Chains A and B, each alone.
Chain A
């Protein structure tokens, strides 16, 4: 369990100590920043590069190895190849006059550089988003994330939406993940001792052997939930009743500071984006500043 991607690691860094609400906000804000239009490809890569630098600094501050992201990318290779095929072989829009041909086949079919760049661009964004999520999940306990979520759902309370039920469901689900993992391990051992082989065989055999795990796990899940609901009932839980909260989130100076920093970063990127969109010439930094013709 210890090396699962994105699992909470109990360090005591500044990032860990931040209010989960701030971290949640910063995550979303920076994710949005990944998606703003920043002009041509050279521009996009430069600006995303700046964003990446900021993210790497946060990761180092939170004692997360920035390289660890690449170990999780293995499973994304298929997706990247798929994207590459789509972007490279499918024509980019109707007007191809502004594109830069990479390979021109004899029958006139052209593969453009833009296809490759677009794939890289999408992938760059994806990696940044993964990094951001990684920062949140590995520096914040699942419970703190739930508390933050509860706080953000507050406006829904005004329209009588039972947010406390949603957060209770999430927190119970999080509470039972380790218990059920433990249980599934036990069941697997028990089934292995009865001759079930989970590791070998073709897909069909594997699926068959997985059912020997899933069925008992489901059954025990249900019996657990019945007992849990009884225990909750016995302790007077009323989903619609008024409850107080034992845990409260406190806003510290460091939270205010990081909120301001987040807002400043947002301002920077929004300004960059606005420049690229509204000022002709700004959508091509390299040409503007260095006179290099980039696309």
Chain B
């Protein structure tokens, strides 16, 4: 089976003269339909990696394959139809002057017929719960709403791989919950969608299929969330925290209470404890 994403010996630096290597010889792959969380401290190179994957930056050396297509200038059109990014700042990626205009922006770029566009805008604005705000301008919307519009704009393109580049880090807690819920729905609707989330949110990473931890431009740890976060000391040594649920689980098992591995959320944990 071909991979959704394959990265081989990737190197990148913003300023080659200074010799600061932002991405150091990274190799990894992502299966189709997988939900991968990419975490790391500030300056660990995770946003740079996202831009490299979507060919918004050109790698210095190494190769990236998206759905077996090599990431390079020649294949840019196919790439744009395969992989998309939702960025951090909701304001700076709102291109249209209204909600519908923004969702339609990517479709306009692809020269899709207007009737089809109207249909798609309707469908995806409904999916993200923004169908009542189609005529609103960005200054009338909250950050979370703007981010939902950005997601609708990406979903409408029917991409196979979606990257969230800290898409929730500028939102209020309510907005964050909103987007998390939306991602969940998205995955349920379309299980074939490959989803890469670059995040600071350890709790979110804990719910993913696989976690990749970047540190100083290198992959430090990679694997299932429960395995990656198992070594508490190692995680905290690079300035990251382990998920709250895991912390409680660890303390509980220290005091002699065995908690099954499958428990991943606070709700499950409290049910388990109360049921006992």
Chain A interfacial positions (CB closer than 8 Å to B):
141-143, 171-172, 174-175, 178-179, 182, 224, 227-228, 230-238, 241-248
B38 on interface, CB distance cutoff 8 Å: no
User: Per-residue 0/1 for B63-94: is the Cβ within 8 Å of any A Cβ (1 yes, 0 no)?
Assistant: 00000000000000100110011010101111
The answer, among A143, A179, A231, for a CB contact under 8 Å with B95, is A231
- Can you give 11 A-B contacts (C-beta < 8 A)? A143-B101, A175-B95, A175-B97, A175-B138, A178-B139, A179-B91, A228-B95, A231-B87, A231-B93, A236-B80, A245-B114
In the assembled complex, the Cα of A29 lies from the Cα of B273 at a distance in Å of: 79
CB neighbours of B87 from chain A (8 A) = 227, 230-231, 234
A243 touches B109 (CB 8 A): yes
Q: Which 7 A-B pairs have the closest CB atoms?
A: A246-B104, A231-B93, A236-B80, A227-B92, A235-B106, A236-B109, A178-B139
In the assembled complex, the Cα of A244 lies from the Cα of B84 at a distance in Å of: 20
B112 on interface, CB distance cutoff 8 Å: yes
A234 touches B85 (CB 8 A): yes
User: Per-residue 0/1 for B85-124: is the Cβ within 8 Å of any A Cβ (1 yes, 0 no)?
Assistant: 1010101111111101100111111111110011001000
B51 on interface, CB distance cutoff 8 Å: yes
A228 touches B92 (CB 8 A): yes
CB distance from B192 to the nearest CB of A (A): 21
In the assembled complex, the Cα of A246 lies from the Cα of B103 at a distance in Å of: 10
In the assembled complex, the Cα of A95 lies from the Cα of B54 at a distance in Å of: 75
In the assembled complex, the Cα of A180 lies from the Cα of B152 at a distance in Å of: 25
B51 touches A230 (CB 8 A): yes
B171 on interface, CB distance cutoff 8 Å: no
CB neighbours of B139 from chain A (8 A) = 178-179, 182
In the assembled complex, the Cα of A252 lies from the Cα of B84 at a distance in Å of: 39
CB distance from B138 to the nearest CB of A (A): 7
B56 on interface, CB distance cutoff 8 Å: yes
B175 on interface, CB distance cutoff 8 Å: no
CB distance from A228 to the nearest CB of B (A): 5
B117 touches A244 (CB 8 A): yes
The answer, among A141, A232, A237, A248, for a CB contact under 8 Å with B114, is A248
Chain B interfacial positions (CB closer than 8 Å to A):
51, 54, 56, 77, 80-81, 84-85, 87, 89, 91-98, 100-101, 104-114, 117-118, 121, 137-139, 150, 153-154, 157
B56 touches A233 (CB 8 A): yes
CB neighbours of B98 from chain A (8 A) = 143
A245 touches B109 (CB 8 A): no
A246-B108, A246-B117 known; A235-B138 Cβ under 8 A? no
A224 touches B92 (CB 8 A): yes
CB neighbours of A171 from chain B (8 A) = 97
CB neighbours of A237 from chain B (8 A) = 105, 109
CB distance from A239 to the nearest CB of B (A): 10
CB distance from B135 to the nearest CB of A (A): 10
CB neighbours of B97 from chain A (8 A) = 141-143, 171, 174-175
CB neighbours of B138 from chain A (8 A) = 175, 178-179
Of B84, B91, B93, B114, chain A has the most CB atoms within 10 Å of the CB of: B91
A182-B139, A227-B89, A246-B121 known; A235-B157 Cβ under 8 A? yes
A236 touches B114 (CB 8 A): no
Of A172, A227, A233, A235, chain B has the most CB atoms within 10 Å of the CB of: A235
Of A171, A230, A232, A245, chain B has the most CB atoms within 10 Å of the CB of: A230
A174-B97, A246-B101, A246-B104 known; A236-B111 Cβ under 8 A? no
A178-B139, A179-B139, A247-B101 known; A234-B56 Cβ under 8 A? yes
CB neighbours of A241 from chain B (8 A) = 109, 111
In the assembled complex, the Cα of A172 lies from the Cα of B102 at a distance in Å of: 11
CB neighbours of A247 from chain B (8 A) = 101
In the assembled complex, the Cα of A179 lies from the Cα of B93 at a distance in Å of: 12
A175-B95, A179-B138, A228-B95 known; A236-B51 Cβ under 8 A? no
